[in-house]
Amino acid sequence: MASHSDAAAQQANVLHEAAQWLLRLHYDTPAASDQLAFEQWLAQSDTHANAWQKALKVRQIFEVLQEDSAVGCDAAGTTANSDNGVRAHAEPGCPPMTGQAPSVAQQALKTLVAETQRKSQQARRRNLQLLGALMLAAPASWVAWRSSSWQQWRADVATSTGQRHTQMLPDGSLLVLNTGSAVNVAFSPKERRLQLLAGEILVTTHADAAALAPHRQAPMPQSRPFLIETAQGTIQALGTRFSVRILDDETTRVAVWEHAVQVTVRQGTTQLLHAQQQLDFTQASAQAPVLADVQSTLWQNGMLMAKDMRLDAVVAELARYRPGFLQCDRAVGGLRVSGALSLDDTDAALALIAQNLPVRIAQRTRYWVTVLAR
């Protein structure tokens, strides 16, 4: 029976072959014999068929990004939203290119597209080979990137990789977005609702300024509920300061720092969460509350405080703040890390790790970095 590592190696080989077929069939001039050989390769197994589908996704994303580069973007990065009084992007110019999977090299793709448009056919092929390598490293992330990126571009408030942004909401509440985050703001006479599309936010609620205004034009309840909506459910603030993070396509994490919130999952279960507690929830259920890690909010100050964390977990967290692809080799992933690391300067953070652990930082390109055994 093949071991897990053998199966993983076999899958990687098939993905590599799929990337090569992508280059040969779509970016070269294939001969009739190439087409026949490809069909025979494709028919070998479901693994080959699935690998080819992933290769086609890479090609599709590459072509979409080429179109984006050709079209360009508006010069103004901030516009007004008459419904909510909120429309902001943390970076002027192009909408932020953000994603839920930190292993997807979004900025690397954008850079590769620009280089491909400027340079020779040889450079084009070299860049496409790097796209194939990206597919090998993070095949499951492409779908998440494609499904989330357009939503984020249309978001009322958004940040790109490595950015943070603070926004005063129409009611006086304070919204802080972490890296790669996107929020829609939907305030109405009945409620104050934020839709978290991606990333992580910290919210400090405020007495409803609009409801308390003496000359408001329309009747409004004295206290409109303040709600955060994600794909997994809804969080209602009960006079509070709290954070919400989308961990993946299936899970949202909420942590309360002051007062309380009420969490309602999509399928109806409700859970009250008090100060210094956090929980993860899906559409179907919520986990039992646990003690919140107060150090998890240090991202506001551009810091990651590691306390006996696995190296692979630290690298995954740093990857959220770094454009491109950052990974940790499995051989060193279990090493333990303690200390303060900069999220604003991930190069410095990686250098500090390399100084204190038996690892080295290998840079294939500026946007392709791996932590390896020394």
For 227-251, how does the pLDDT look when each residue is reduced to its tens digit (9 = 90+)? 999 999 999 999 789 999 999 889 9
Q: Say if residue 223's pLDDT is above 90.
A: no
Provide the domain limits for residue 172. Answer: 164-294
Tell me the pTM. Answer: 0.65
Of the residues 120, 152, 184, which one is the last residue of a structural domain? Answer: 152
Task: Give the helix ranges, DSSP H, for the chain.
Answer: 4-27, 32-42, 46-71, 106-118, 121-137, 141-153, 209-212, 311-319, 346-356
Q: Is residue 235 part of a domain?
A: yes
Instruction: Say if residue 125 is in the same domain as residue 177.
Output: no
Q: What is the pLDDT of residue 323?
A: 82
Instruction: Say if residue 288 is in the same domain as residue 343.
Output: no
Q: What is the pLDDT of residue 48?
A: 84
The angle that helices 311-319 and 346-356 make with each other, rounded to 10 degrees, is 170
Instruction: Say if residue 254 is in the same domain as residue 323.
Output: no
> Which residue would you say has higher pLDDT here, 309 or 60?
309
Instruction: Say if residue 24 is in the same domain as residue 109.
Output: yes
Whether 249 and 144 have beta carbons less than 8 Å apart is answered as: yes
Q: What is the pLDDT of residue 115?
A: 45
Q: Is residue 353 part of a domain?
A: yes
Instruction: Say if residue 47 is in the same domain as residue 148.
Output: yes
Please count the residues of the chain. Answer: 374
Instruction: Say if residue 77 is in the same domain as residue 37.
Output: yes
What is the total count of domains within the chain?
3
Residues 6+ apart with CB under 8 A from 36: none
Q: What is the pLDDT of residues 322-359, one digit of tens each?
A: 987 889 999 999 999 999 999 999 999 999 999 999 99
Instruction: Say if residue 148 is in the same domain as residue 170.
Output: no
Instruction: Say if residue 209 is in the same domain as residue 321.
Output: no
β-bridge mates for residue 258, sequence order: 241
Q: Is residue 336 part of a domain?
A: yes
Q: Is residue 91 part of a domain?
A: yes
List the CATH number of the domain containing 194. 2.60.120.1440
Q: Is residue 125 part of a domain?
A: yes
